[in-house]
Every structure is written in C-alpha cells, then in structure tokens.
Structure 1
C-alpha cells in the first residue's frame, strides 16, 4: 500500500482557496433505491469542481524560482479554472492552453481569474503539444491535471473529509475516473484509515481507459474516446494514479451517456443543482452497482465532482434522461395506412403514456411510426410492451439502444429517399464545434459526392454530430473513409442501421 501518500495528503495545502464541502443526503434517491445514498458536493467549490484542490497543492509545492517562471497547463475546463484561481491567489503568472472547441463558459471562467488563455487546435492533444512547446521555449512550469503526486495528494483531501464527516459505517465510495488522480488520492487515504470501505471507480463506457488497463494489467491507450463527459474524456490512465489504483481499488464500473443524463436529473431533484456529465458519473455508477447486485440497506457515497456545463446542453440531457432511467422505450411500429389506425394503435397501448409520436403519410398500404412510450423502470416492462404489440399483430423494432435513432432519426422529417436516390452510403460523423469546421467538412466531401441526406443538431458540446447520406456505390466506401480519415473527424458507417432502413432508405 502506498503509505507515503498519507503524510502528503494530511499535509496538503488546499484550504487557502478550496472549501470543505458537505455530504448531502439524497433523500428521494435513497428512498427509490432502498439504500442510504450520500453525495459529496465538490460541485460547490469556488470553481464548481474538485480540481482546485490538486492544482493549488501543486502550486504551493513549487519553489520561489519555479513560481517566478510562471505556470502552464493544457486543459479543456475544470483543471484550467482551478489552476487559474490558484495562480491568481499566489500572484503567479498562468498560461492556459485550451482547444478551440472548449465551451465559452469554461474559457470565460479561466479568463475571469486573469490567466492568459491560448486557444490552440481542435483537440486536447493539440493543445497539450503546444503547452509542452512553450515549456521548452519559455521555461514555464507544467502543472499536470492528474499524473503528479502533489495533485493526487490535493485530491486526496476529499477522502480525509469524508472519513471525518461520516464516522458511521460506509459500504462503498464511488469516484469518477478520467486520468485517475481523484480516484488514486481518495483510495490512498480511505483504504489506509478504513480498509473495509469499497472504493469503486466509474468511467464512461466510451472512455473506459482504466477498465482496459485493469484487464491488461498495464496502461493502454484507447484509439478514441467519447466526448459527452468531457471532464473525464481521457485515452490513457495516468502512470502514477494507476500504480496506486491497481493496488487499492475494488472495482471499476462503466456508465452510458443515458445513465449519466439520468444521474444529472437525480442530483437536480435532490439538491436543485445541475451537475455536468462527469460530475454525475459517480452517481450513475452507484445506481448501476445497486441494480446489478440487488444491493439494499447500504450506505453509499458518490462524489458529485463538478457543475461546469453549458446551459445549451440541458436540452439534450433532458431528452436522454428518461431512457437513462429506463422509463422510456423508443420503438418503430408498422401500422396499416388506413383511417382509424392511429386510434387502434393508441387503444392497444391502453393507459400507457406516449412521450413522442412521429408519423408521415406513406404509400403502399403501411406506415412506420416512431414512438416513445412510458414504461416502468427496468428492461422487463420494455420487453413486455414489445411482446404485447407483436401479439396484436404490430411489427415492432426496438430502437431504445440505437444511438442513431436517438440522436438523429427522431428529429428528422421528409421520409424515405425518392426512387432517384440509389447507392446511398450513410455515416455518423463528429466534428469540432468551431467556425469553419462544417465548411471544411463539406468542402472535402460535398464536391466529390452528392449529399443526399444531412442532419445536424447543436447539443452545446465541444463536438457537433452529423448524420450524412452520400450518393456513392459500395465500391467507393474506402475512398470516402480515406477522406474522412484525412480530416481527422470521428465517424462510423450506419448504412445497415435498422432505423435508417425503416425511415430513410
């Protein structure tokens, strides 16, 4: 066990700028889950995130000569704001390199602390490379967001507070994982003081670098990571955090985008605060742990780690919440194209609430409707709904877990392509939300292939999402994907997606 961290954590200097945050009882969620659910409210820090602790502790450990040189970091958000505030408090010049895709709320937050902001590149890697260039050229001191013993020790003070604030038995503490600094710091202290307490890391399903490393027994680099929970979108777990985590952490759980959205709603309903996706990640993992293990009567603590989210994202989050709670089923149902079909279908639903209903007249005697239905929490009721509809003669395709259907199809109108559109290939593409990105995308593709379908919707995130149809033969697939590879936009082919085949092909 890395006992050397205990002294470092106990001596960590964080309270010059950070505050001791409360542990709040999630009353509504506790009753629903039949467990004592508690939230450690790190979203209440001055920069609305725990990152301030590690950044300040690292700053305090620097020599006078190092502080005189100035500090620098690459960050898309919370670490940047923490370092900027710490530097202002200590009267140290700070340079923060952020991707151009960083949400304005986070850029403005950094600038409000008088730090110099450089917007470089579209990705964190590009920003980080420029930061390292400035370190070499100007001798600035780089403050890493998680792979540093002083940063880990600063985050570990959260564990000290939890042990002091809740001396009664604790069954498990759930901690969000990006680079691993927070998880390593909390685990190092809690496992030393109360080794019986389970420490469980929680990652997004599409950025599970720790789970991959634990399976391999060594650090691995994911080929790509999801961006919804930008605060934990890390491709490789930190070297020093992993050394600690692999010895002390009991389990690693992953959560989906929909499950994080549901957890954001849970936090709001119990606290009236709005967590960012990474800030609700630990609670999403807690809920999954309870559901998968049939856990009851335990005391479970989740770290509510941050609340820096764009207001624009709330529309998207609210749309996905009911699916995340498994209280909505999204179905494609075929009904006869004749008078009275709607009424008969609604009668088949009984008193079940309809959350969405999309329909367009179709020739040929049959119509596909895209429908959202309220269901009891859990997947069993969803299966029963599908079976009941099929028993009444309705062909049904369950689209509840179909990402393309939820992101695009439900918002699109116009129906299937006309007969003149043949040999269509369909892709989902992500591109950076910045001026010129869409034009760059269309310049590379639109001049070579006819665009037969296009859907884009701004979700207030760093990356935009497009559903794209191109008039192209299957033999041209490699050529298209070579172009997409050349402009470094993430993509996946969706030509065989059943939602596309039903509604748009």
Structure 2
C-alpha cells in the first residue's frame, strides 16, 4: 500500500501554494469559556471553492501525466471534491466530469457547473455517485480522481496540518477533524504526528453514517449506513483502505454526533463566531458542545471547519431543528372552546409570557367530539424551556388543552 509522509505533504504545499489560501485560525471565545480550554477554528470554509477539498484535488491534478490529462478527468463527490476538481481542471485546461448524489445541495451542483464541469447526478450518497463515475470512466477512458483514497489527495489535505502547526507556533494539543472517507484527517494526522507525535487527533463522524468509527473499532474497513445526514460532505458508507490504514495508526479516537447536535453546532457557529458552516464542517464543534469530547483545562484545541457550502434552503430547515432543540422555537396544537374571546385568550397567554407568534391557524370543526370546539395550530419564538413550561401551565390553568410538537 502507498504511504504518505510528512515530506509528501511539504512537497504538496509547494505545488499548490499559488492556488489555495492559507486560511485563518480564529479563537472561539464562547467555547473557550464554556470548556476551560482554548478552542480555535481552522476556517477551511473560507478556502477557495468554500472547502478544503481544493487542496487535494489540485495536488492530484498536478501529478497527472500529459497522457492522463488528455483523456479528461472524472470524479465522484458529495459536492466539495467536485468543486475542487472542477477548478483544478479548469486551470489545467482539461475536461472534467463530476458524478454527485441526486440529493446534493443545489448550491454545490451550481458551483461545480460554474467552473465548467459536466455534472451527472445519481443515487442518494457518495457511494452511489462513485458507482456511476466508475461506469462512465469505463466508457470514456477518463482519469478517475478519488476524493480521499489517494496519496496525492491525502498529501494535499495534509497541508492544513502544516498551517495549523505554524499558525499556532507549535502550541497545539488536540485537533478535531471531520471524517467521511478519511482523506482530510489522514493528511492532517500524518502532518501533525510527523511534527509532534504527542498531538492528539480526534475524528468525528455523523452517527447516521459511522463507517470509519465502525472500521476503527473492528480493525478493518467496514461499511456502515443508518440514515441520510445533513452532513452531506461526510456521507460515505465505505471508507478507503489507504485512509483507514493511516487513521488506524495516527488517530487517537473516533466519535460520532447526532443530526440534532450537528444542527445546534451550525447555529452556534453562526451566532457566536459569525461563521457559516455546512454540516460536515460543524461536527468538530458538535463534539465539544455535546460533551462527546471533553478537553482538559488550558488545552489548546483546534476544530477544523472543513467547509461552508450549505444550501440556503437546507440552512433554513437546520436552523428550525436547532432552535427547537434549544427551546427557542416550539409548535403546538391547542383545543379551545368555540366561543367569542377564546382565541384572544390563547394569544394573550403567549404575549403575556413574552413569546412571539410566528404563525397561527384556526380551524372550526362542526361534527363529532369537536362540536363547540376549535383547533388552533401555532409556532412561536421562545427564550428557553422554562418559558415554554410557563406558557403550557397557563394554558392548562385556563382550560386550554395543548400538545407541544
């Protein structure tokens, strides 16, 4: 099996230095205060194409022979590798075809097309797109660019590790990294362990697709899929054998976070750091907010924000989930008497408790057990669960039957 070394990563930095940005490291003061550690963000969401993937893609394209380039390139991607390959191919003057899941965010599909790539949609997860890419490759002879299980790709992603070490002047104790197929964490772990073997590397996956965690625990590459995820950038059912080999040697721990925890992390980052992150980029924050990883006091922790390419419609839905989980938005169905003033009383209870109505609808039912009754459905903005409980108690005291949903 091919090996990736610190030297490979240092060479990759020279190859791609004129293409990629050295992204900022920013301290998240709120998380630092909450944990007692010092928490920093490595902001690859501010990278060209909005994701770290451009690093590995451009390093790989630079390694191709003229013969390989002449056939064009093809790649499979949930969206971010797609944009990296499309940009790299455009700069190299070669044709690119990208296969993406049919449910890939529209923003990622549009961005990939904007770089001049041909986009083919297939299936629901990365693995489905991969199968389609292999099919097209066999027909066209195009050069396949793997998004993670490739020496040059891993080395390109590893340049993030070099930047983290240098930007923090070596003051790094732990780095928390998203895992899908494993390319970014394999590269970062190789770089940082090569510079200081004592640095801890923590990987984070979504619990819906915990393929690397399952593989890590089983000691061999193992597929895993429980459900779809808002973290589409790490929706990989089967990790790579090369990435697994590196991770099994250089990564200290792999943990998982839930979809709700990811949604909360996205909201937290927007409110407290003014950063827009996609689901995959927020899992490192989710690991800290959820307590799945608890740093020591004074520990220097860097969370890699791998990308910011999130569809605005998806972001709206995620915000609704996160606000509900925090007790800041709630919906309910209430049964009130069909008499004048009933709806006014319900609205007054909400207003007197300082909550705000976002939407409300009233339905009068004139048959069965609902004779002389009305059904009201509403969504309200609240401060916390204590406020919700006060509203619920006031409803009950006033004879209003209510179900919070």
Q: Gaps spanning 5+ residues in structure 1: where? A: 400-505
C-alpha separation in 2, matches of 1:101 and 1:196: 40
> What is the CA–CA distance in structure 2 between the aligned matches of 1:279 and 1:317, rounded to whole Å?
14
1:5 is matched with: 5
**Residue pair 1:224, 1:235 contacting (<8 A) in 2 also:** no
Structure 1 residues 94 and 214: CA distance shift in structure 2, 3 A: same
> 1:311/1:384 Cα in 2 relative to 1: closer, same or farther (>3 Å)?
closer
Report what 2:222 is aligned to: 220
Distance 2:219 2:294 in 1: 25
In the other structure, the counterpart of 1:446 is none
In the other structure, the counterpart of 1:301 is: 302
- Measured in 2, the distance between the counterparts of 1:153 and 1:70 equals 22
CA distance in 2, matches of 1:253, 1:108: 32
Offset of 1:47 from its aligned partner? 0.9
Change (3 A) 1:43 1:242: same
C-alpha spacing 1:344/1:306, structure 2 compared with 1 (3 Å): closer
Aligned twin of 1:469: none
Partner of 1:238: 240
Matches within 5 A, 1:12-31: 12=12, 13-31=15-33
Which position in structure 1 is the counterpart of 2:155?
153
Paired with 2:95 and 2:333, the residues of 1 have a C-alpha distance of 61
- Aligned partner of residue 47 in structure 1, secondary structure: helix
Q: CA deviation at 1:277?
A: 1.9
Distance 1:353 1:382 in 2: 8
Aligned-pair distance for 1:273?
Answer: 3.8
Q: Does 1:279 align with 2:281?
A: yes
**Cα distance change, pair 382–240 in 1 and its aligned pair in 2 (3 A):** farther
Alpha-carbon distance change, 168 to 133 in structure 1, aligned in 2, over 3 angstroms: closer
Contact 2:99 2:122 in 1 (8 A): no
- SS of the equivalent of 2:17 reads coil
Are residues 164 and 221 of structure 1, via their aligned partners in 2, closer, same or farther at CA, if it must alter by over 3 Å? Answer: same
* Correspondent of 2:213 among 208, 211, 214: 211
Contact 1:72 1:95 in 2 (8 A): yes
The residue aligned with 1:450 is: none
Aligned pair in 2 of structure 1 residues 260, 147: CA closer, same or farther (>3 Å)? Answer: same
- The 5 A counterparts of 1:128-147 are 128-147=130-149
Q: Does the CA contact (< 8 Å) of 1:72 and 1:131 recur in 2?
A: yes
Name the SS of the counterpart of 1:11 in structure 2: helix
How far, CA to CA, are the matches of 1:195 and 1:47 in structure 2?
Answer: 31
2:388 and 2:295 mapped to 1: Cα distance? 20
Determine the structure 2 residue equivalent to 1:166: 168
Q: Is the 8 A contact 1:78 1:231 kept in 2?
A: yes
CA distance in 2, matches of 1:327, 1:293: 24
TM-score by length of 1: 0.67
Deviations 1:168-198 (A, max 9, x none): 5333211111111111111122123223322
Equivalent position SS for 2:176: strand
Aligned residue in 2 for 1:318: 319
Q: TM-score, normalised by structure 2?
A: 0.82
**CA distance in 2 between partners of 1:55 and 1:39 (Å):** 23
Q: Distance in 2 between the 1:372 and 1:247 partners?
A: 50
Whether contact under 8 Å (2:109, 2:119) holds in the other structure is: no
In 2, Cα distance between the equivalents of 1:102 and 1:329? Answer: 28
Summarize the Cα distance change of 1:387–1:107 in structure 2 as closer, same or farther, 3 Å threshold: closer
Q: Secondary structure at the match of 2:201?
A: strand
Q: 2:111 aligns with which of 109, 113, 135?
A: 109
Q: Helix, strand or coil: the match of 1:155? A: helix
Deviations 1:120-158 (A, max 9, x none): 434444443332123223322110001112111111110
> Could you tell me how far apart the structure 2 residues matched to 1:349 and 1:215 are?
52
CA RMSD of aligned residues (A): 3.5
Q: Distance in 2 between matches of 1:105 and 1:162?
A: 29
Q: Structure 2: how far apart are the matches of 1:222 and 1:255?
A: 15
SS of 1:289's equivalent in the other structure is: coil
> How far does the alpha carbon of each residue in 1:346-383 deviate from its partner, in whole angstroms, 9 at most, with x for none?
7699846466675645626696866657455xx8x699
Give the Å deviation of 1:59: 1.4
Alignment length, in residue pairs?
392
Tell me what 1:247 maps to. Answer: 249
| d(CA) in 2 for partners of 1:184, 1:386 | 50
Distance between the aligned counterparts of 1:234 and 1:74, measured in 2?
11
